[in-house]
Amino acid sequence: MRLGMIGVGRMGANMVRRLLRAGHECVVFDLDRAAVDVLAAEGAVGASTLEELAAALAPPRPVWLMLPAAVVDRVAEQLVGVLEAGDILIDGGNSYYVDDIRRAESLASRGLHYLDVGTSGGVWGLERGYCLMIGGEAGPVAHVEPVFQALAPGKGEIAETASRKDRRSTAEYGYLHCGPAGAGHFVKMVHNGIEYGLMAAYSEGFNILSRANVGKAGKAQDAETAPLRHPEHYRYDLPIADIAELWRRGSVVSSWLLDLTAEALGRDSELAKFGGRVSDSGEGRWTVATAIDQGTPAPVLSAALYQRFSSQGEDEFARKILSALRFVFGGHEEKA
């Protein structure tokens, strides 16, 4: 089918490519004209304005937004003046699901359908396919299904889940209608929350491995340093990169994130080019905020999030309070 794509940065461009390869047609628009030209050269139809994009599509027009969450509302508002009743706006970015609920209501009152599609796959999605978590009305979802089929990974070589023999679902092809407006981004949000937790579990584990030799160094013996009772238990120089590779085969912790860890450590087992300042992009925060709203305990997902905040230096005043207290009650000077 023919789809409009607004926003052809790294993610959007690759999605267009995957759609073109599957035989779909894409009309693309971006404020960055060069990005549009690149895709036009690869077979997409370039549009210079939203109006042009709309004109190149047949109603009910499917228009996919692949934009920073912060600008979705503005572009959606512009599209209201360009699209027709019955057209389908699809937000494939990382919107907060609460905004989807509001947006779907607002657009419905003006005759437009709205789908929220959480999209996982990153820069690997072009080859690997995108995992799609979809929210919205059933009718528009069914209309756009060919697009979802083309973007998703499909069955691939992934083994069938034995217990699901009699339970068929598009989930087995990598896309799923999860529920009404917001459900897609809700599921994607939790997906990212889990991702933070998984990443943190590996990162803590590899940190422990990397420090298996702390008994070797003659560690400082002063009142401000807790002594190591058994330095003889910490004399291993472990082959970190090889261990990551090892665990990819037959272990309980094998995963795609572990594959990537092995890739990163294979490049440089010291990770010397990284400083360890870790950004977070919203979904991790929303997941924890949701858990708190619900009254659901989420200690692991929260700890993973806080580790990122601390890496950004946001724990500084808290640490100063601790140092100040130690100084006031015990006369402890900070160790340089």
Q: Does 245 bind a second copy (CB under 8 A)?
A: yes
**Residue 188 is a catalytic residue:** yes
Count of C-beta atoms within a 10 Å radius of residue 19 = 23
Shortest CB 259 distance to a second copy, Å: 7
Shortest CB 140 distance to a second copy, Å: 18
Q: Which residues from 78-107 bind a second copy, rule CB under 8 A?
A: 96-98, 101
Shortest CB 40 distance to a second copy, Å: 23
Rounded to 5°, the CA angle 159-124-26 comes to 105
Q: Which residues from 194-223 bind a second copy, rule CB under 8 A?
A: 194-212, 214, 221, 223
Q: Which is nearer to a second copy, 23 or 299 (CB)?
A: 299
Count of C-beta atoms within a 10 Å radius of residue 269 = 16
Sheet with 62-65: strands ordered across: 45-46, 25-29, 2-6, 62-65, 88-91, 113-120, 131-135, 175-179
- Cα 254 from chain centre: 19
Q: Which residues from 25-54 bind a second copy, rule CB under 8 A?
A: none
Applying CB under 8 A, among 49, 110, 169, 217 the residue interacting with a second copy is 169
Q: Which is nearer to a second copy, 24 or 119 (CB)?
A: 119
Number of residues that bind a second copy (CB under 8 A): 172
Q: Of the candidates 310, 255, 260, 257, which has an alpha carbon nearest to the alpha carbon of residue 280?
A: 310
Applying CB under 8 A, among 7, 92, 121, 140 the residue interacting with a second copy is 121
Q: Which residues from 293-312 bind a second copy, rule CB under 8 A?
A: 293-312
CA distance 281 to 193: 11
CA distance 251 to 234: 24
Q: Which residues from 127-156 bind a second copy, rule CB under 8 A?
A: 128-131, 133, 152-156
Q: Which is nearer to a second copy, 2 or 191 (CB)?
A: 191
Shortest CB 88 distance to a second copy, Å: 21
Shortest CB 60 distance to a second copy, Å: 25
Q: Which is nearer to a second copy, 69 or 82 (CB)?
A: 69
Structure tokens at 74: 């503005």
Q: Please, are residues 3 and 24 in contact by the beta-carbon 8 Å criterion? A: yes
Count of C-beta atoms within a 10 Å radius of residue 293 = 8
Q: Which is nearer to a second copy, 58 or 293 (CB)?
A: 293
Crossing angle for the helix pair 283-294 and 299-311, to the nearest 10 degrees: 140
The catalytically annotated residue of 25, 137, 195, 245 is 195
Shortest CB 85 distance to a second copy, Å: 25
Q: Which is nearer to a second copy, 61 or 177 (CB)?
A: 177
Applying CB under 8 A, among 70, 85, 108, 142 the residue interacting with a second copy is 70
Applying CB under 8 A, among 22, 85, 217, 256 the residue interacting with a second copy is 256
- Residues 6 or more apart whose CB falls under 8 angstroms from that of 104 comprise 114, 116, 136, 180, 181, 182
Q: Does 251 bind a second copy (CB under 8 A)?
A: yes
- Cα 290 from chain centre: 17
- H or E element in which residue 240 lies: helix 240-247
* Active site (catalytic) residues: 188, 195
